[in-house]
Amino acid sequence: MAELSLVGISHRGAALEVRERVALDPDEAAELARDLAGDEGEAVCLSTCNRTELYVAGPGAEERAAGALSDVDGALYRRSDDEAARHLFRVAAGLDSRVRGETEILGQVRAAYALGTPGPLLDRLFREALRVGRKVRAQAPVGDPAASAASAAAVLAERVLGDLSDRQVLLIGAGEIGEATAGRLVARGARVAFVANRGEERRARVARRLAAEPLALGEIPQALAEADVVVASTNSRSFLVSRDDVEQALAARERRPLLLIDLAVPRDLDPEIGTLPYAFLYDVDDLDEAVGTGSVEGAAARAEAIVAEEAERFRAWQASRGVVPAIASLRARAEEIRLGELQRSGRRLADLSAEERRAVEALTVQIVNKLLHDPTVRLKEAAAGADGATYADAVRHLFGLQGPGET
């Protein structure tokens, strides 16, 4: 039975309209992790525009995770133990993203870890994944070091509209992705004219930073007539801009094209907008095709090699967990015998000075450590292969071990 399980859905096997059915905002991800973990398990929920993945450990956790994603059961994939670890390492390294090598995913993995309910296994897994992600970026960066959905959106805007100088941007959503995209567009000469956001304080702060006009969500239709680029990236569960909104705006634009980029999952912009003349609508699944993002094969191969090596290290560590109770019991039994023999020799040692007693204590500890060194090393080595459980059972049988955790 798997100790670690992954149940998920991603852009590799599911279209956007399928993925958005199980997309989770941060509060939902944290609540689901708590529910999946229960009293005895562990869970971390990673939900981005490209994927919703549930990493779980504990009795019955995998089936509960699959149940939580039952709405998209036909598109689910499952991984266990070392395959689940390798998958997460690839995700953190940006190797499984639609925009390959993108930099935002590492922060999303970190946020999922912070919101999750990890125990010893998932804590180690996610700390290792973050380390692997940083290592790949330092030693074998794949693609553009600044690769992200935000940078791809800015490149797309320039390709569709040409020179972005003096082009006006309507930003719908004042979160990290929205701000990052705005920064990329401004760097190419565009001007953020409007910032629309549900939270008044946030939209005012971001609008002030970008020298833009803050808008409530209900004011978006009026701003569409003036904007050249619309970028949407909220956590809304319903469309914030309808086909009718855009159609009315286009009537006042005298055939000026309007580019709309929807970075949200679920989507913020009605897909029917794309049927209108002079409206160019793109979503997250369109970015790589429109921009032609990719990676240098040599760098990708080096990155994959790093991931494979680190996944093997994690596999060996996870396997060693199976023999740790046997090692602990063996050492506890040896210590029990050592202390018992010293106690029985109490009368013969009574005349020893304090310094001599410390020497005897140290000597017996050294004898025990030397005797147990080779068995401990052999057990850990065996754990990395297929014989770990057999060796652990043999040790328990030979030494009559029935300590805590040993059944």
Of 36, 37, 44, 49, the active-site residue reads 49
Q: What pLDDT does 298 receive?
A: 66
According to CATH, the superfamily of the domain at 149-291 is: NAD(P)-binding Rossmann-like Domain (3.40.50.720)
Over range 342-360, report the average pLDDT. 85
Which range has highest mean pLDDT (99-113, 130-144, 223-237, 307-321)? 223-237
From the number of C-beta atoms within 10 Å of its C-beta (0-12, 13-18, 19+), residue 403 rates as middle
Q: What pLDDT does 295 receive?
A: 47
Strand boundaries in 227-376, DSSP class E? 229-232, 258-262, 279-283
Model confidence band, residue 48 (pLDDT cutoffs 50, 70, 90): very high
Sign of CA dihedral 8, 11, 12, 14: positive
Strand partners, 54: 7, 45
State yes or no: pLDDT of 363 exceeds 60: yes
- Looking up tokens 């689901």 gives 32
Q: Is 49 a catalytic residue?
A: yes
Q: What pLDDT does 300 receive?
A: 78
Q: Tell me which amino acid residue 198 is.
A: R
In the chain, % helix, strand, coil (3-state, to 5) comes to: 55, 15, 30
Question: Are the C-beta atoms of residues 296 and 143 closer than 8 Å to each other?
Answer: yes
Sign of CA dihedral 363, 365, 368, 370: negative
Over range 64-83, report the average pLDDT. 94
Q: What pLDDT does 143 receive?
A: 62
Question: Are the C-beta atoms of residues 281 and 87 closer than 8 Å to each other?
Answer: no
Which H/E stretch holds residue 185? helix 176-187
Residues 6+ apart with CB under 8 A from 152: 99, 102, 287, 288, 291, 293
Share of the chain above pLDDT 90, in %: 59
Q: What pLDDT does 265 receive?
A: 93
What does the mean pLDDT of the chain come to? 88
Question: Are the C-beta atoms of residues 360 and 342 closer than 8 Å to each other?
Answer: yes
State yes or no: pLDDT of 325 exceeds 60: yes
Spell out the domain ranges in the chain.
Answer: 4-145+296-309, 149-291, 322-399
Strand boundaries in 120-249, DSSP class E? 168-172, 191-196, 213-215, 229-232
| Cα torsion through 93, 96, 99, 100, rounded to 10 | 50
Q: What is the DSSP code (8-state) at residue 57?
A: E
Over range 188-199, report the average pLDDT. 95
Model confidence band, residue 335 (pLDDT cutoffs 50, 70, 90): confident
Classify domain 4-145+296-309 by CATH number.
Answer: 3.30.460.30
Query: What are phi and psi for residue 293, nearest 5 degrees?
Result: -70, 150
- Residue pLDDT, tens place only, 109-168: 999 999 999 999 999 999 999 999 999 988 877 765 556 788 889 989 998 999 999 899
Q: What pLDDT does 292 receive?
A: 56
Q: Tell me which amino acid residue 194 is.
A: F
Cα separation, 377 vs 394, in Å, equals 15
